[in-house]
Amino acid sequence: MTRLFLKFKIHMVCLALIAFLGQSCTPKKIASDITAQIMTAGAPSFEMESDIEIAKNASMTMLKMIEAFQYDNPKNKNLNTLLARSYANYTQGFVEFDMLAFQDVDEAKYQKSFQRAKDFYTKGKDFGLKALTTNGAYKRALNKDLGTYEKALKSFGRGAVPQMFWTAMNWGSLINLSKDSPIAIAEFPKAEALMARVLKLDENYFYGGPHLFFGFSYGARPKLFGGDLAKSKVHFEKALSAYQRKFLMGLVFYAQIYAIEAKDAQLFDSLLNEVLSADATALPEARLANEMAKIRARWLLDNKAKFFSY
């Protein structure tokens, strides 16, 4: 009788497990989850590409492929975070450089790139928020007052740094391109608070990325809205020291933001020439960003007169 009862219990547990798996762990979803893990683990290999043209041509194909997986598995945190990361990197690296190159040269192309940058940062932000709002406390606080929002951010630990960082990067970049929108500007304290949480948990994440964010933020804003060149410089220096000045895009941002705003032409030249003379392979995992930094540094030096009047 005991053996019969035991068999019955095992049978019922198996049925319950099958029912659960049938509802929430279909073979299709399991395959999608595994693919998401593989894509996330393999993402750094793309950032090691040395040929910028190959990387640019492949980027959108890769993005649309990841979006296809995310469409079928919309709550997957890995896919949403990877899309936030990919849109931020692609837009900052390629689209914003197009904006820089076309400005005051070809208005139609500039406007097209400008709108594309806003659209892509919006996508990146939205995917990032999908990853973050799996945290119930954050989801409930997202549209609340800043104090409530900041309190909810404490529920995130170090494991949430990637989704917080890439969401804040997209969000802050979008706001920077939306300075004519009071609604967008009003959201900046929340984007900044999100990155401040990252700064506290892992200040050197993605080559000192949190410090680069604040270096850019304090350097690009007018004093009336919290701009502070002294703080900008401190953050840029901390970002550069984190990787022994081997992450060359950090040097470019330092020149493009701080040096120009501070009207320091000597520092501008020094930073950009340092980029041009540096070894792009010194930080292999950031080879693509370093190669792109060299191109941007050359362009900035060639167009120095646009930024400094004598």
What CATH number is associated with residue 144? 1.25.40.920
Q: What pLDDT, on the 0 to 100 scale, is given for residue 17?
A: 38
What average pLDDT does this structure show over 12-38? 56
The per-residue pLDDT for range 82-122, each reduced to its tens digit, is 999 999 999 999 999 999 999 999 999 999 999 999 999 99
Q: What pLDDT, on the 0 to 100 scale, is given for residue 26?
A: 66
Q: What pLDDT, on the 0 to 100 scale, is given for residue 31?
A: 65
Given a cut of 90, is residue 208 above it in pLDDT? yes
**Residue 302 within any structural domain of the chain:** no
Q: What is the pTM of this model?
A: 0.89
Given a cut of 70, is residue 155 above it in pLDDT? yes
**Residue 185 within any structural domain of the chain:** yes
User: How many domains does one find in the chain?
Assistant: 1
The per-residue pLDDT for range 242-284, each reduced to its tens digit, is 999 999 999 999 999 999 999 999 999 999 999 999 999 999 9
The C-alpha angle with vertex 49 and arms to 48 and 53, in degrees rounded to 5, equals 150
| Among the ranges given (147-156, 219-228, 240-249, 289-298), the one the predictor scored with the smallest mean pLDDT | 219-228
**Residue 176 within any structural domain of the chain:** yes
**Residue 139 within any structural domain of the chain:** yes
Rounded Cα–Cα distance for residues 239 and 65 (Å)? 33
**Residue 47 within any structural domain of the chain:** no
**Residue 20 within any structural domain of the chain:** no
Instruction: Give the confidence band of 27 by pLDDT, cuts at 50, 70, 90.
Output: low
**Residue 188 within any structural domain of the chain:** yes
**Residue 46 within any structural domain of the chain:** no
Give, rounded to a whole angstrom, the gap between the first and last alpha carbons of the chain. Answer: 98
Q: What pLDDT, on the 0 to 100 scale, is given for residue 55?
A: 93
The percent of residues in the chain predicted with pLDDT above 90, rounded, is: 80
Which of 88, 52, 54 is CA-nearest to residue 213? 88
Which ranges of the chain would DSSP assign to H, the alpha helix? 2-24, 27-46, 52-72, 77-90, 96-102, 107-132, 136-141, 146-153, 161-176, 182-186, 188-201, 205-220, 229-242, 248-253, 260-261, 265-277, 287-302
Full residue range of the structural domain in which residue 77 is found: 52-202
* 116 vs 11, higher pLDDT: 116
Question: What's the mean per-residue pLDDT of the chain?
Answer: 90
What is the length of the chain? Answer: 310
